[in-house]
Amino acid sequence: MLKMLIKISSIAFLLLFSNCFQAQNKMPEAETVQHESDRTSIRRLDVISFAKDYLGTTYKYAGISPVKGFDCSGFVYFVYKNFNIDLPRGSKEYKLLGTALKPEEFKVGDILVFYGYKDLTQIGHVGIICEANGMKSKFIHSSSGKAYGVTISNLDSDHYARRFYKCIDVIQEGSQN
């Protein structure tokens, strides 16, 4: 009888402990946006998960293929095409796209637009926010620099902060078309 009582108590303790552990480690729900063009829901974390599948893919000027490589806008184009959002193929075309967000409005999945490395008057680079924290956000992009491929960088690094032009929400804006 005592063994059975101990066994029941042990099971009850394990169930209680398991429920507490699950409650503490529950991930926050991802923001989901209804996309009108194809009536599907787009979860911002799904966009980032898909983009991260291509970390390390080589850089290739004018590239839009994971097999041959990506340039920056080719990578962004490829990622969002998977979610039925049509975006410009060239980075310069992002200058007039969307409404600029304030840093406190940045969200995972938003697109960062940068001036070029050598020419700070022309748009020359784009990436996707993968960790939103205003001007301290991290973004995934295809870099022609030292990483030479799809990588994650800090927006507040000297290299990117001085070139930052704007951040836009193509998921929300895409859902209003």
The helix (run of H) or strand (run of E) holding residue 3 is helix 2-24
CB 147 within 8 A of CB 138: no
- Each residue's pLDDT tens digit in the chain (177 positions)? 444 333 434 433 333 333 333 333 333 334 555 544 443 478 999 999 999 999 999 999 999 999 999 999 999 999 999 999 999 999 999 999 999 999 999 999 999 999 998 888 999 999 999 999 999 999 999 999 989 999 999 999 999 999 999 999 999 875 543
CB 174 within 8 A of CB 35: yes
* pTM of the model as a whole: 0.78
Q: Which domains does the chain have, with CATH numbers?
A: 36-174 (3.90.1720.10)
Q: Which residues pair with 126 in a beta bridge?
A: 113
Rounded CA-CA distance 102/63 in Å is 31
Burial class (CB in 10 A: 0-12, 13-18, 19+), 58: middle
